[in-house]
Structure 1
């Protein structure tokens, strides 16, 4: 089994959130940054990685993605701020 990641992206004004799951976090964020990721992230320029979780199995990351997508927006912001209070772009640390 392959490991997986669940991640949250935002835009520079912190007005939108995008939740996704992937097997290769750096490659997937590269896609979003280059405009070849999801249409939503391209439309709203959501390219700032503010949160991610790593899982031993991709299926767990996918389940977590579905869970987070059902959360209220404030809950997602609070989750990101717990580990990244200044909402720095974590992509730069990958």
Structure 2
């Protein structure tokens, strides 16, 4: 049985100040599992981008997609500012949602 969730815009990072991935999903927990398990082929898997560093509810599906596209167009510093307003230490917020901590691949 499919359970619907509110659309969520999220940012993953490879590490603090690392490569960023911006996405939108209607099931954040499932999408995080997919990213962390390497089940999604493409950019995030190729660059080891698995740490959830920012997310927000997006209202309707259309509003969430519009917000995702808006953030993707921003310059990198604006994206970093958005992350650091809510998560200055770039903690992996997925741990707060019940996921196991990821092994650190880089010393910051």
Shared fold (TM-score greater than 0.5)? Answer: yes
Aligned-residue Cα RMSD (Å) equals: 1.6
Residue 75 of structure 1: aligned partner: 78
Equivalent residues, number: 94
Q: Please state which structure has a larger fraction of its residues in strand.
A: 1
Match of 1:53 among 16, 34, 56: 56
Equivalents in 2 of 1:62, 1:38: separation in Å? 20
Given that 2:5 and 2:27 are in contact with CA atoms closer than 8 Å, whether structure 1 keeps it comes out as no
Instruction: Identify which of structures 1 and 2 has the higher relative contact order when contacts are C-alpha pairs closer than 8 Å and 6+ apart.
Output: 1
Q: TM-score, normalised by structure 1?
A: 0.92
Structure 1: 4+ residue segments shifted above 4 A? none
Match of 1:34 among 30, 34, 37: 37
Equivalents in 1 of 2:71, 2:41: separation in Å? 17
Give 1 or 2 for the bigger CA radius of gyration. 2
